[in-house]
Amino acid sequence: MRATIAFPQPRPGILDITPYAGGESSVPGVTRVIKLASNEGALGASPKARQAIVDAAAQAHRYPDGAWTDLREALGRRHGLDPARLVCGAGSDELISFLVRAYAGPGDSIVQSAHGFLMYSIYAKGAGVETHFAPETNLTADVDALLAAVTDTTRLLFLANPNNPTGTILDADSVRRLREGLREDIILVLDSAYAEFVERNDYDPGNALVDSHPNTVMMRTFSKIHGLGGLRVGWLYGPAPIVDVLNRVRGPFNVSSVGLVAATAAIEDVAFQTLAREHNSYWRAWTRERLEAMGLAVTDSSCNFLLTHFSAEGPLTVAAADAYLRGRGLICRRMGGYGLPHALRITIGQADEMHSLVQTLGDFVEGGGRA
């Protein structure tokens, strides 16, 4: 006879996971909200991608192309990459889960930086894998600290570059030094979700490093500059043996037909990407200048958001600022879950949205934090 258990039990560690909290989209009692909480892309999806979504409706009953052929070819053309070495996912989130599941298990560990993207450690926990967090320097990933955090059990090192939620970036030489200091059996995962927003010529999203190393992969997403977060499409470029492994653990139709056609149209719409990058660059600088003029510290950002710092004490706390903004329909994101209890992450939105944000936050600071 089996012992009687009151109810089914998950695997060890699952109940230790703090579920990822996405940005909220509504405030009770407020009709018009401005959502600057999820880095979604100020201009929405390109008109060509929107048309592709409409056109795809007639074929909604058909299973998607499980090999993602058109999308891989379009990505290959746009980025000069071999389509055979691309894997698509339901968002790059799904690719993180494939990597963790395929290469690590109980007793293994991953390394990420202290204020790095949280999904790495969440998927790791779900697979019984431990995460070692490396301290940062000035809210920036520190190559030496990352290397020092590696142990015998390390299987993967995840680096978001530039990083969410800090917005900070490592140059190509630093990332190369990281790779060269890592054991060869450790996969370096370069998460370049914000690559399109970077405006520095010493940056490599990962293409070059993947080409020169058999143990490095790059992940990208359609959720940020392409404005397709709702459709869940991401992709990975890697060495053939790793691509082969990921294709074995994935579901046969993991990206929807609508997601595939929209992403293909988006990647080909280079003019829209340029527009979105220029919009971001202008409004990021504009907003930062005004936040700093209010006396707020803002971390230098290569992304489509600004990490903004409030006082730990006194009336101008992040809690007071967030409550003040929400009361007026402006939703940004607090970063306590990332170990940044005094910071607010503000996504760059449309022009009128940034005007509202700056006006409202200015009123808050000027009024000495009074509600």
Ligand X SMILES: *Cc1c(COP(=O)(O)O)cnc(C)c1O
CB of 91 to ligand X, least distance (A): 3
Q: Does the footprint of ligand X cover residue 117 (CB under 6 A)?
A: yes
Instruction: Map the footprint of ligand X across residues 6-45, applying CB under 6 A.
Output: 39
Going by the DSSP 8-state scheme, the letter that residue 304 receives in this structure is: S
State in angstroms the smallest separation of the CB of 355 from ligand X.
Answer: 25
Closest approach of ligand X to the CB of residue 164, in Å: 3
Residue 92's H or E segment, with its range, is: helix 91-103
C-alpha to C-alpha distance for 43 and 55, rounded to whole angstroms: 21
Using the rule CB under 6 A, is 238 a contact of ligand X? no
Candidates 74-82, 143-151, 219-227, 236-244; binding stretch for ligand X (CB under 6 A) = 219-227
**Paired tokens of 174:** 């630093």
Region from 12-20, 64-72, 85-93, 136-144 binding ligand X, contact rule CB under 6 A: 85-93
| Least spacing, CB of residue 259 vs ligand X, in Å | 11
* CB of 328 or CB of 345, closer to ligand X: 345
Give, to the nearest 10 degrees, the angle between helix 47-56 and helix 257-268.
150
Q: One symbol per residue from 255 to 294: x for binding ligand X (CB under 6 A), - otherwise; what is it?
A: ----------------------------------------
Closer Cβ to ligand X, 250 or 290, answer by number: 250
Q: Does 234 bind ligand X (CB under 6 A)?
A: yes
Residues from 54 through 83 that contact ligand X (CB under 6 A): none
Structure letter (DSSP) for residue 345: E
Among 223, 254, 264, 299, binds ligand X (CB under 6 A): 223
* Near ligand X by CB under 6 A: residue from 205, 206, 229, 349: 229
Count the residues in the chain: 371
- Is 353 a binding residue for ligand X by CB under 6 A? The answer is no
User: Among the candidate windows 22-30, 223-231, 261-269, 332-340, which touches ligand X by CB under 6 A?
Assistant: 223-231
Closest to 337 (Cα-Cα) out of 49, 79, 117, 46: 117
Dist. CA 98–CA 254, nearest whole Å: 11
State how far the Cα of 267 lies from the Cα of 79, in Å rounded to an integer: 10
Identify which of 268, 241, 220, 209 has the alpha carbon closest to the alpha carbon of residue 94. Answer: 220
Q: How many residues bind ligand X (CB under 6 A)?
A: 14
Interface pick for ligand X out of 91, 206, 259, 349 (rule CB under 6 A): 91
Q: Is 261 exposed, middle or buried (0-12, 13-18, 19+ CB in 10 A)?
A: buried
Alpha-carbon distance of 18 to 213, in angstroms, equals 34
Q: Residue 260: CA atoms inside 13 Å, Cβ hemisphere, count?
A: 23
Nearest-CB residue to ligand X? 91
Report whether 236 contacts 89 (CB < 8 A). Answer: yes
CB nearer ligand X, residue 191 or residue 196: 191
Q: Is 93 in the site for ligand X (CB under 6 A)?
A: yes
Shorter beta-carbon distance to ligand X: residue 116 or 369: 116
344: which strand partners? 308, 334
Indicate the DSSP class of residue 23.
Answer: P
Q: Binders of ligand X among 139-198, rule CB under 6 A? A: 160, 164, 191, 193
Dihedral sign for Cα atoms in the order 56, 58, 64, 68: negative
Rule CB under 6 A: is residue 206 a binding residue for ligand X?
A: no
> Among all chains, which residue has been given the structure tokens 């082969």?
244
Can residue 347 be called a binding residue for ligand X (CB under 6 A)?
no
Q: What is the largest CA-CA distance in the chain?
A: 72
CB of 313 to ligand X, least distance (A): 30
The distance of closest approach from Cβ of residue 96 to ligand X in the complex, given in angstroms and rounded to an integer, is 7
Question: 27-59 burial string, b = 16+ CB within 10 Å, else e?
Answer: beeeeebbbbbbbbbbbebbebbbebbeebeee
Q: Using CB under 6 A, list all residues that contact ligand X.
A: 39, 91-93, 117, 160, 164, 191, 193, 221, 223-224, 229, 234
